[in-house]
């Protein structure tokens, strides 16, 4: 079954768009089928109710969603981007 990734940022419109597209492209390249849901950090609990496997966030999370959380700032700054993408792929391949 396809894994679900929640990609969140402060407003759900800007930085999460960059991260979501990067993850979608990487998964396509790897032949991984994933569902990417983009939202504001405040909307994460609502999406968790439908089930999800991973949160990638560019904003500060003030609660524990109970599933793995990976910080996605690397997709904006380039610092450690490959390692972060590898971590994401590790979770999604499981």
Partner 1 sequence: MEIHEFLKPEAICLQITVETSEEVIRMLGTKLHALGYVKDGFIEATLKREADMPTGLPLDGEINAAIPHVDIEFVNQSALALATLTKPVVFYNMVDSDEAVPVRLVIMLALDQPKSQITMLQEVSHIFQQPEIVRQLTEATTPEQVLSILNRMSSSS
Q: Which is nearer to partner 1, 14 or 86 (CB)?
A: 14
Determine which helix (DSSP H) or strand (DSSP E) holds 42, and give its type and residue range. none
9: annotated active-site residue:
yes
Smallest distance, Å, CB 14 to partner 1? 5
Smallest distance, Å, CB 18 to partner 1? 5
Phi, psi of 33 (to 5 degrees): -95, 115
On the CB side of 2, how many CA atoms lie within 13 Å of its CA? 13
The token duo for 19 is 């991260």
Smallest distance, Å, CB 2 to partner 1? 20
**Interacting residues toward partner 1 by CB under 8 A:** 9-15, 17-18, 20-21, 38, 41, 57-60, 71-73, 75-79
Phi, psi of 59 (to 5 degrees): -120, 165
Residue positions annotated with a catalytic role: 9
């Amino acid at each position: 079954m396809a894994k679900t990734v929640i990609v969140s940022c402060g407003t759900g419109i800007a930085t999460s768009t960059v991260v979501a597209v990067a993850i979608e492209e990487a998964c396509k390249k790897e032949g991984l089928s994933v569902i990417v849901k983009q939202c504001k950090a405040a909307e994460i609990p609502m999406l968790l109710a439908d089930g999800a496997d991973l949160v990638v966030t560019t904003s500060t999370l003030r609660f524990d969603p109970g599933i793995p959380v990976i910080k996605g700032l690397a997709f904006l700054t380039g610092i450690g981007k490959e390692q972060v993408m590898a971590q994401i792929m590790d979770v999604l391949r499981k």
